[in-house]
Structure 1
Amino acid sequence: MKKADVFEFYRRLAETDPAPETELEYVNPYTLLVAVALSAQATDIGVNKATKLLFQEVQTPQAMLDLGEEGLKQHIKTIGLFNTKAKNVIAAARILVDDYDGEVPQSREALEQLPGVGRKTANVVMNVAFGAETIAVDTHIFRVGNRTGLAKGTNVLQVELKLEKVTPAPFRQHAHHWLILHGRYICKARKPECWRCPVDDLCAFKPKTPAPKEKIAA
């Protein structure tokens, strides 16, 4: 995608949603960290349902330790891989209490040292909680980057690095959210809704998906 087209691509997404936000519900940086870690291979809706009561009770790493692994499992048992995730969340809480005075570190290196926290989770926390210009590439962003021609790559790291390279400065803060929301609601995996896409003319995807025909009343 040409440089001018990239700028226009983001400009249109920004015009439709000037202040995008994560769809995960959280209270503070710690609960955001927990929510993002739980969201691996799960939907934001499912995580929000599981954490609604949890985050009323637990908002700090120490409170998570007080709840305990079995107590946490009771809250998140509807989420996939909840046993492993509960173990990791408790282990991460112990590290945060022992090594960081209960605060969430702001660096990617420190975040990635926490159990259950990979590069994508670290990037989300850095961006949403601390305002870093990071781009967390999930399946939606990976698809949008490759399908549109915005940032092609054979793995998520390649797409992330290309997006960081091509995304213009005015759009770097919210690029992650614009792309993930675009992939989630318009540039869908099985059948992209090209007929209502604000950037369809800039996109390399062919052939464009036509609008569904209206059903004729019997």
Structure 2
Amino acid sequence: MVEKIDKPVPRVKRAVAKTAAKTPKARAAKRSITVPYTAEDIAEIFWRFQVQRPEPESELEYSNAFTLLVAVVLSAQATDAGVNKATRGLFAAADTPEAMAALGEEAIREHIKTIGLYRNKAKNVAALSEALIARHEGAVPNDRAALEALPGVGRKTANVVLNVAFGEETLAVDTHIFRIGNRLHLAPGKTPDEVEDNLLRLIPQPYRRHAHHWLILHGRYVCKARKPVCEACVIADLCMAEVKTCDVPAALTPLPPGPPPSATAA
């Protein structure tokens, strides 16, 4: 069983009560959602994720905000491992907007041709590099609208950059988080935007900063699409998913980003 550690429940309750998302979209959609968890359950879930991985990190390799932005753009419909393999050579040749623009679309394409949709992605990387130079003096903006105005950058990419590079409490909903939100009935939604809004409304503020990475890593290595590895799950006793195979959570010990020792490939 998971060892309980004394923690200030009253403070957690207050944090849960103040979790209304502050995005315009969330404010506009003032509908309540029904989930089979209490506020204390949700706080417990994310507290366990925090104990398991106190400082989660992106599995994409990057050296600055620009290389992070490029890596996230390239990661659409591609694995992080595949992106990292391609960007090692690319970033060695160009790790600033100026260097990337000088490298040019054709050379970028040669570096990333092992990644899906590489032709269009190379075009976007070249174009966003030029846009950063022309509009932002070569700096990656800490602003959602400015980021989403860049070629190849949508809401999910902007959320990742704002969270990882600038420490903002954003939550990018990829296929893993979309699956978990619905499978666990934690934040049901028909679209990624709905799941994002619902998660931000429910996750206690102390946990919002790293919730993005905790949920992605949990979906990637434990709550897998084909068959969840419930015996390696630290929230198995709280989980309400119909596909759950056990109620006994794994030993709660700090783990680095990556698959838990008992998890096996799907």
Equivalent position to 1:113, from 142, 149, 168: 149
User: In the alignment, residue 166 of structure 1 is paired with which amino acid?
Assistant: L
Q: Write out aligned runs for 1:174-193 (5 A).
A: 174-193=210-229
Q: Tell me which stretches of 4 or more aligned residues in structure 1 moved more than 3 Å.
A: none
Distance 1:44 1:202 in 2: 30
Q: Which of the pair has the greater relative contact order for Cα pairs under 8 Å at 6+ separation?
A: 2
Q: CA deviation at 1:17?
A: 0.6
User: In the alignment, residue 155 of structure 1 is paired with which amino acid?
Assistant: T
Distance 1:5 1:80 in 2: 40
1:139-161, Cα deviation, whole Å (9 max, x unpaired): 00001111112111011000000
1:58-110, Cα deviation, whole Å (9 max, x unpaired): 11111001100000011000000000000011111111001100000111111
Q: CA deviation at 1:130?
A: 0.4
User: Is contact 1:61-1:102 (8 Å) kept?
Assistant: yes
Report the CA distance shift for 1:97/1:5 in structure 2 as closer, same or farther (over 3 A).
same
1:116-170, Cα deviation, whole Å (9 max, x unpaired): 0000000000000000000000000001111112111011000000111111011
Distance 1:2 1:119 in 2: 30
User: In the alignment, residue 56 of structure 1 is paired with which amino acid?
Assistant: A
Percentage identity across aligned positions?
A: 59
Question: SS at the partner of 1:172?
Answer: helix
Distance 2:89 2:120 in 1: 20
Q: CA deviation at 1:207?
A: 4.0
Question: SS at the partner of 2:104?
Answer: helix
User: Is contact 1:137-1:159 (8 Å) kept?
Assistant: yes
Gaps spanning 5+ residues in structure 2: where?
1-36, 249-266
Q: What is residue 7 of structure 1 aligned with on the other side?
A: 43
User: Is contact 1:191-1:209 (8 Å) kept?
Assistant: no
Q: What is residue 96 of structure 2 aligned with on the other side?
A: 60
- TM, length-normalised to structure 1: 0.95
Q: Does 75-84 or 53-62 show the bigger shift?
A: 53-62
Q: Which has the higher helix share?
A: 1
- TM, length-normalised to structure 2: 0.78
Distance 1:161 1:191 in 2: 27
User: In the alignment, residue 59 of structure 2 is paired with which amino acid?
Assistant: E
- How many residues align? The count is 211
Gaps spanning 5+ residues in structure 1: where?
212-218
Q: Write out aligned runs for 1:26-65 (5 A).
A: 26-65=62-101
Q: Write out aligned runs for 1:1-218 (5 A).
A: 1-209=37-245
Distance 2:49 2:132 in 1: 37
Q: What is residue 216 of structure 1 aligned with on the other side?
A: none
Distance 2:237 2:188 in 1: 18
User: Is contact 1:186-1:192 (8 Å) kept?
Assistant: yes
Q: What is residue 215 of structure 1 aligned with on the other side?
A: none
Distance 2:243 2:117 in 1: 38
